[in-house]
Chain A
Amino acid sequence: MKSNVYSKSNSPNIFRKFLHWIRVTHAHIHLFLILLCGITIAPYLWALSTSLKHRVDVFTKTPQWIPNPLRLANYSEVFEMAPFGLYLINTMVVVTVILAFQLLTMTTAAYAFARLEFRGSNILFMFFIIQMMLPVHATILPNYLIVNKLGILNTRLALMMPFFATGYGTFLLRQTFRQIPKDFEDAAIIDGCSGLRFLYSVLIPMGKPTLVAQGLISVVTHWNDFFWPLVVSDSPNIRTLTIGLAMFVQQESGADWTLLMAATIFVTAPLMITFLIFQRKFIESFMSAVLKG
C-alpha cells in the first residue's frame, strides 16, 4: 500500500461492505460538529456571561446564562488595574519577534533534516527534540543566569531569546518537507534551483499550511507564557498580558471572578481575530497552486 494508495484490491471484503453500509453525509458531520462544538464553546460563553455580571449574580445554584442586569464596568475595571494597552503592545512585539526568528531557524534546520543526508543527522535531530522534554522549571534558573550574564535582564530580549530556536517547529516542518515528493526536487535541480533557493521557492510555499499552523501555535504559546516573563521582567514597560491577567487570581481568596473572566475575554480576543484571519489560509490548497505554477 505505497503509491497506489486507493487500490482496493488489498482491502478485506467485509470492510468494503461496511463502508458502503454506513454512508457519512454532510448532515451527519454537521450534527456531530454542532454537538461537539456546543460542549467546547460552553466554558467560553460562561466566561463571557460572567464577565458581564454583577458580583452577586455570579454564584447561583442553577446557572444563569444571560446576565441580568448587565454590567459592562467589569471591563473598564480591568483596564484600571493594570496598563493592559501597554501589555498588549508588549505581547505583540514579543510574539512577533519570536516567530520571526523561529521561521528563520526552523525552516533551514527542517530543510536539512528532511531533504539532506549527512552524518549524525538522526542524533542531531534528537538534540532538537530534547528541547521539548526539558521541564520548564529546570530551565528557569540556568536561563536566568545566562540572561543576567548577557546583561539583558529586564529587557524584551530576555523575554524572547530562549524561544528563538524551536525543536517543536523544526520537527513539524521536517515532517511536512518530507511529504513533498522527490520529483519536485529533481525538477528544481534541473532548473538550477537548489539549496536555500529550493527551500524558499519550493518547500516553503508548498508547506505553507504547516507554516501557518506552526505560526499560530507559536504565537498562542508565547502569548500565554507566564513564569519566564514574570521571573525576568520587572518593568511594566516590557511586561506581557498574562502577568496582568494573573492579578485576578489569588491564592488566599481564590479569584476575582467577574474581572478574571473579563480579562480572559480581552486577552484571548486578539488571538481569536488572528486565528480567524489566518485559518482561511487552510482553505486554499497550496499544493495544487504549486503544481500548476
Chain B
Amino acid sequence: MRSVAIRKIRPYLYLVPSLVFLAIFTYFPILYSLYLSFFKQNILHPQPVFAGLANYVDVFDEKLFFTVVKNTFFYAVTSIPVTMGLALVLAIFLNEKLGWVRNIYRVVAFYPTMIPMAAAGMLAVWLFNPGIGLVNFYLKKFFGVSTIEWLYDMKWALPAIVITSIWKNFGYFMLIYLAGLQNISGELYESADLEGCGFLQRLRYITLPLLRPTTMFVIIVGLISSFQVFDLVYTMTQGGPADSSNVIVYYIYQYAFRFWNIGHASALTVLFVSALLIFIVFLVRTVERRVHYEV
C-alpha cells in the first residue's frame, strides 16, 4: 500500500522544485495583474478604485488596440514560417558531414542570437537607414532595387523588424533542430545508406518524421515568442511611424510604464495571457495527437 502511495505522489515531487519558483515569480505576477485589472488606477486617478470589468471594456474601446493586434499577427505570420524553415533547412545541412567549415557555418548561423538586443536593434537601425544603410546599398547594387525607406516608412517599418528578427532568431531554432537531429539514431541512417537512399530520401523518410516532436516544440515556442516581440520594436521604432510597428507587448509596456495606467495595462496583460494560453492549449491538443513519440 505504501509503495503505491509513493508511486502516486512521486511525479508531483519531481515538479516541486520548479513549481516553487514558478509560483513566486510567475503565478504571483499573473494573479497580481488579475487583481489590479479590476481597479482603476492611472495618472488622473492615482488612488485605486474598484471598477469591476471597466478596464476590460476600455481595452476594446480603443481603435489602436486592434491595429496593435493586427500588427502582431502580421509579425507572427511573416516571421515564423521563414524563421522555422530556415532553421530546419540549416540544421539538416549542418548535420551533414561537411568537414571543418561546418563549425564556422554553425557559429555564423548562431551568432546573431548572442548579440544583445540593444546593440542588435541599433545596428539594424543603421543597416536599414534608407540613405546610408548597407541594406539599400546592396539591394540597389545587386538587384537594382530603388530606395526603400524602411523604418522611415509606415509600410516598411514592420517588415524591417520582421527581417531583423529572422536574422536574429533562426540560429536559435536551428540549434534546437540540430539537437533534435542528434537524438535520432545513427543506425537508421546507416541502414538507409545500405538501401542506397539519397539525401532527400533520408530526409523524407527518416529525418522529418522523427523530428516531429522537435518541430512541435519549435512551432509552439516560435508562436509564443513572436507574440512576445518587444525588444526590436522598442529599440528600432518605438512603435512608429504612426503606430505602424506597434505590437501587443510594446503596447502593454506603454500602458504600464509610459502612460502609467496600471488598470488598463493589467487588463491587457490578463487578456493577452489568456488568449495565448487558450490558443496554445488548442494547438497542443491538436498537434500532440499527430506526433508519434515512440520510435
Which residue numbers of A lie inside 8 Å of B, CB to CB? 1-3, 5-8, 11, 15, 19-20, 22-26, 29-30, 32-33, 36-37, 40-44, 46-47, 59-63, 104-106, 108-109, 111-112, 116-118, 121, 124, 126-139, 141-143, 146, 161-162, 164-168, 170-172, 175-176, 178-182, 195, 206-207, 209-210, 212-214, 216-217, 220, 223-224, 226, 241-242, 245-246, 249, 255, 257, 260-261, 263-264, 267-268, 271-272, 275-276, 279-280, 282, 285-288, 291
Contacts and interface: CB of A to CB of B under 8 A. Distances in A.
A61 B220 CA distance: 43
Interface in B231-251: 235, 248-249
B105 interface: yes
Given A6-B188, A136-B230, A245-B116, A210 B201 contact: no
A172 B24 CA distance: 22
A130 B29 contact: no
Interface in B169-216: 171-172, 175-176, 178-180, 182-188, 191-192, 195, 197-202, 204-206, 209-210, 213-214, 216
A212 B15 CA distance: 22
A205 to B, nearest CB: 12
Which applies to chain A's interface (DSSP): helix, strand, loop or mixed?
Answer: helix
Which applies to chain B's interface (DSSP): helix, strand, loop or mixed?
Answer: helix
Given A62-B137, A209-B183, A213-B175, A135 B21 contact: no
Interface string B117-146: 111001110110001101001000000000
Contacts of B216: 175
A99 to B, nearest CB: 14
Given A246-B118, A260-B119, A19 B200 contact: yes
B134 A42 contact: yes
B81 to A, nearest CB: 16
Given A162-B21, A217-B172, A179 B293 contact: yes
Contacts of A182: 294
Given A268-B115, A287-B183, A105 B21 contact: yes
B22 interface: yes
A24 B200 contact: yes
Nearest to A176: B183
A275 B220 CA distance: 25
A5 B205 contact: yes
